[in-house]
Amino acid sequence: MRYLLSLLTALVLLPRAVSAQTYPVPRGAHILAHAPLRAERGASVIVFRSRVIEVAVARNGRILWEERISGLPLRLVQPGPRGLFAVVFRRSRGAGVLAMSLAGSHVGSGITGNPTGAATGDEGVRVVRGGFVVLRRDRAHAGSVKYRTLIPYLVCGRLLCQGNPELRPDYAPGAAPVPNATFALANGSVILLRLEIAATIADQNRGLMNVRSLDPDTGMIFVWSDQVLCSFWMKDTDIPLDIAFLAPDGTVNEIIHMPVLDSPNAEPIPLYTPKNPYQFAIEANAGFWSRYDISPGVKARLNLGALSLTDAPKTCYG
């Protein structure tokens, strides 16, 4: 916390000694927060309540700019560059932030490409080093896993720039569905795949045979007690699958596409065998791995619940 506050100017609650008349705000206004703008001589940012809650920039006793805030102010921060500031406020659903920048006597948006300087998140706003992150629930996601989108706004030059959105499972600690596999991607996203476990010879022989549909966020993991080099086929399987073969440490070694057979009576039935031994294999809906850019080299973190690998089959046939 001490390190964070050394980087950001935190919310300054009004002490009793500060009078509203110290600043050029309406008579009777109640000042909620105030701070001098870094490296801007004689300039201050003020958050006050009169009839409504407003944020203003003043210089040498004169208001240069003011804007209404539609929420309860939580923090006043200055991410770094001179004249750049942001007010984080609570809304009826989630939180919002208003980021602005003072240059000379002009106050404009503090976010590149965003003329209003405002951003909102129905799951909140998180202050981070050099900016903030807006959290939004991913309501468009079609699978059974709940996701939130994290949208970073970080300092670039004199303003803030919106970064690439990151996808994260939206669960409280320990509340995500188990068993599962999670994949931390290079773009900052974390993908969670719910798993059904095939840890017996009977389960592995049956696999996803005669399954008519598979939840977009669910797959089946085949587990062995050691590395094997088993082949897979699509006999009596009604949905196209992509299978990922994982090393003992969870690293994806290879992904193979397995289409549905052209005919139930097709002969011979194609076999799908990876180039190298593996300890885990995960079948998912065709396109799952490519949709999230999960490719060889990405590492899975497996949570298989109470399963003991020592009880899993030792070879392809037990």
Q: The domain 193-311 belongs to what CATH superfamily?
A: Protein of unknown function DUF192 (2.60.120.1140)
pLDDT tens digits for 92-113? 999 999 999 999 999 999 999 9
**Tens digit of pLDDT for each residue in 199-212?**
999 999 999 999 99
Distance in Å from the first CA to the final CA of the chain: 54
Entry pTM: 0.86
Predicted local confidence at residue 136, as pLDDT: 97
Please state the length of the chain. Answer: 318
β-sheet bridge partners, residue 100: 85, 109
Q: Does residue 12 carry a pLDDT above 80?
A: no
248/279 Cα distance (integer angstroms):
5
**Beta strand residue intervals within 60-130, DSSP E:** 62-68, 72-77, 84-90, 95-103, 106-109, 118-121, 125-128
pLDDT for the residue numbered 8: 36
Residue type at 172 in one-letter notation: A
Per-residue model confidence (pLDDT) at position 15: 36
Confidence of residue 261 (pLDDT cuts 50, 70, 90): very high
Rounded CA-CA distance 135/94 in Å is: 9
User: How many angstroms from the chain centroid is the CA of residue 260?
Assistant: 34
Taking the domains of the chain in order of start, what are their residue ranges?
A: 2-119, 193-311
On the 0-12 / 13-18 / 19+ scale of CB atoms within 10 A, 104 is exposed
Question: Residue 12 corresponds to which tokens in the numbers above?
Answer: 């300054």
Q: What percent of the chain has pLDDT over 90?
A: 85
- Pairwise pLDDT comparison (3 vs 243), residue with the higher score: 243
- Read off the pLDDT of residues 116-157 as tens digits, 9 standing for 90 and up: 999 999 999 999 999 999 999 999 999 999 999 999 999 999
- Mean pLDDT value across residues 242-261: 98
Residue 292 has pLDDT above 70, yes or no: yes
Indicate the residue type of 228: V
Q: Which residues contact 185 (CB under 8 A, 6 or more apart)?
A: 191, 292, 293, 294, 298
Question: Is 14's pLDDT higher than 70?
Answer: no
